[in-house]
């Protein structure tokens, strides 16, 4: 008679854009009373994970403190400027240079290995950027599901030529920001992006890092199958993508890729919001500005956005989620326009986006924000931050739900005001956003994702 224990072990980095969808999913399983739920992440995620145990408990397994080289939130200002520079390829190259640090994941792998030995999971649910998570699952032969907060082609398209790819030849390379239908110069640029990425790894510096990566994998006992370019996809039971096919350029999706739409918890997520809902109720039209946890604005950029809010004041209010550490860049309080409300932290961005008086979401177009805004039928104005943001931005533009601002050091109030006004005044943007919202909601979200997990043979009882 076999054991009836079927532990499920979630693994993620602690950055909110990667962590939050898995928190929604583990909370859904907890709400259904699924036993033996575990969540491994950096220590700072502990309170969020423990709060997800709304039904059956969710046990937190600490992977220690955050390693600075593995978290964009902790990169210094010089690195931040390098990874967010205007050149898409140079920004892509900088991200690779600063995040490809093989030794940085050794301790995480060892800690996760110890957790897996204790928990003996029947299934792992691994965030797609968490390399040590899927390497361990493949090495130990543990069935796993991969969670993807981007459009599906982001993880199904190779960055280099001649490598395995699940998308057709000539498909836009991730992080290139190129459209599905390309002009001849764009097709050349797309191929050059691949070749230049390959060329990066032929330089002496990155060859040395790749050799160190091989030594680390050998030291950790990682099996050869986990080292393949598409290993995280090839060996997964399911690839859960929080999108819908219509928000990516068309290509045949592998059967294991399941598009479940945005991962949204039951709302309101934060009923005690300090009066924010009442403030939104009292405004006829609200522009919501939120640029994620990584964006760092300059004093000049902050002043430009305050000026944009001032110019909108005759018709629209502005809610701005501006981190407290950046609020010192604001002009004197008495000079701020009356229509502007600034919050260091919004208790629930989802509650804000769900509010009927919010007319547009001014965003950096990270994977979660892009899909969440559309889930609630909100058109977008996008100022891309980096890498995947460029890809979501070009799709939003092509599918008629957003307009994109140039990512530069200077924010021009005239351009931003005109762009916001165009999206607010042209009902076609709202209609297209509502169309995609209906598709995202119909995909099933957390419920569909939970059903897929629970239907896997690894969680079936004897």
Q: Can you tell me the distance from the alpha carbon of 221 to that of 12, in angstroms, rounded to the nearest whole number?
A: 21
Question: How confident is the model at residue 162, as a pLDDT?
Answer: 87
| One domain for residues 213 and 296 | no
| One domain for residues 423 and 454 | no
Spell out, as residue ranges, where the chain has pLDDT lower than 50: 1-2, 462
Classify 175 in phi/psi space as left (phi over 0), alpha (psi -120 to 50) or beta: left
Phi, psi for residue 408 in degrees, rounded to 5: -140, 170
State the residue range of the domain holding 75. 8-261+444-459
Task: Provide the CATH number for the domain around residue 301.
Answer: 3.40.50.2000
Residue 404 in any domain: the answer is yes
Which spans in 121-183 are helix H? 131-140, 153-156
Closest CA to 348 of 337, 338, 358: 358
| One domain for residues 240 and 347 | no
Q: Can you tell me the distance from the alpha carbon of 276 to that of 353, in angstroms, rounded to the nearest whole number?
A: 12
SS3 label, residue 142:
coil
**CB–CB of 365/382 below 8 Å?**
yes
> What's the number of domains the chain is made of?
2
Q: What is the CA radius of gyration of the chain?
A: 22
Question: How confident is the model at residue 3, as a pLDDT?
Answer: 54
Enter the DSSP assignment of 382.
E
pLDDT tens digits for range 375-419: 999 999 999 988 889 999 999 999 999 999 987 778 999 999 999
* Cα-Cα-Cα-Cα dihedral sign, residues 413, 416, 418, 421: negative
| One domain for residues 280 and 181 | no
Q: Can you tell me the distance from the alpha carbon of 91 to that of 87, in angstroms, rounded to the nearest whole number?
A: 6
Question: How confident is the model at residue 154, as a pLDDT?
Answer: 96
Closest CA to 170 of 101, 243, 249: 249
Question: How confident is the model at residue 70, as a pLDDT?
Answer: 76
pLDDT tens digits for range 68-112: 877 788 888 898 889 889 889 999 998 888 888 899 999 999 999
Residue 183 in any domain: the answer is yes
| One domain for residues 420 and 296 | yes
Question: How confident is the model at residue 461, as a pLDDT?
Answer: 64
Would you tell me how many other CB atoms lie within 10 Å of the CB of residue 251?
16
Q: What is the pTM of this model?
A: 0.95
Buried b (16+ CB within 10 A) or exposed e, 407-424: beeebebeebbebbbebb
Tokens of 422: 């165009």
Would you tell me how many other CB atoms lie within 10 Å of the CB of residue 221?
11
Residue carrying structure tokens 């001032």: 310
Tokens of 109: 């792998």
């Amino acid at each position: 008679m076999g054991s009836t224990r079927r532990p499920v072990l979630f693994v993620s980095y602690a950055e909110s854009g990667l962590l939050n969808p898995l928190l929604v999913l583990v909370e859904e399983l907890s709400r259904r009373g699924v036993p033996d739920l575990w969540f491994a992440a950096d220590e700072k995620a502990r309170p969020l994970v423990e709060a997800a145990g709304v039904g059956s408990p969710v046990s937190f397994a600490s992977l220690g403190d955050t390693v600075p080289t593995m978290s964009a939130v902790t990169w210094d200002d010089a690195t931040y400027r390098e990874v967010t520079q205007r050149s898409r390829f140079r920004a892509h190259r900088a991200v690779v240079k600063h995040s490809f640090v093989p030794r940085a994941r050794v301790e995480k792998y060892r800690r996760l290995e110890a957790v897996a030995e204790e928990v003996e999971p029947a299934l792992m649910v691994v965030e797609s950027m968490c390399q040590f998570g899927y390497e361990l699952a493949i090495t130990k032969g543990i069935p796993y599901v991969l969670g993807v907060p981007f459009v599906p082609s982001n993880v199904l398209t190779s960055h280099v030529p001649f490598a395995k790819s699940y998308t057709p030849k000539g498909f836009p390379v991730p992080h290139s920001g190129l459209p599905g239908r390309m002009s001849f110069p764009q097709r050349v640029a797309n191929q050059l992006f691949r070749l230049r990425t390959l060329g990066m790894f032929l330089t002496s510096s990155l060859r040395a890092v790749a050799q160190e990566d091989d030594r680390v994998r050998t030291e950790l006992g990682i099996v050869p199958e986990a080292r393949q370019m598409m290993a995280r996809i090839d060996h997964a039971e399911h690839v859960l993508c929080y999108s819908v096919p219509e928000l990516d350029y068309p290509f045949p999706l592998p059967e294991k890729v399941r598009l479940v739409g945005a991962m949204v918890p039951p709302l309101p997520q934060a009923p005690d919001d300090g009066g924010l809902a009442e403030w939104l109720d009292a405004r006829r039209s609200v522009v919501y500005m939120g640029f994620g946890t990584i964006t760092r604005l300059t004093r000049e950029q902050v002043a430009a956005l305050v000026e944009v809010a001032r110019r909108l004041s005759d018709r629209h209010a502005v809610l701005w989620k501006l981190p407290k550490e950046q609020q010192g860049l604001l002009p004197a309080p008495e000079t701020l326009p009356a229509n502007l409300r600034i919050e260091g932290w919004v208790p629930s961005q989802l509650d804000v986006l769900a509010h009927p008086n919010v007319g547009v979401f001014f965003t950096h177009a990270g994977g979660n924000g892009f899909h969440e805004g559309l889930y609630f039928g909100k058109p977008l104005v996008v100022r891309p931050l980096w890498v995947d943001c460029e890809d979501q931005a070009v799709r939003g533009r092509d599918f008629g739900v957003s307009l994109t601002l140039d990512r530069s050091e200077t924010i021009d109030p005239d351009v931003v005001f005109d762009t916001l006004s165009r999206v607010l005044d042209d009902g076609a943007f709202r209609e297209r956003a509502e169309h995609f919202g209906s598709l995202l909601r119909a995909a099933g979200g957390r419920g569909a994702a939970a059903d897929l997990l629970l239907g896997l043979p690894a969680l079936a009882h004897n």
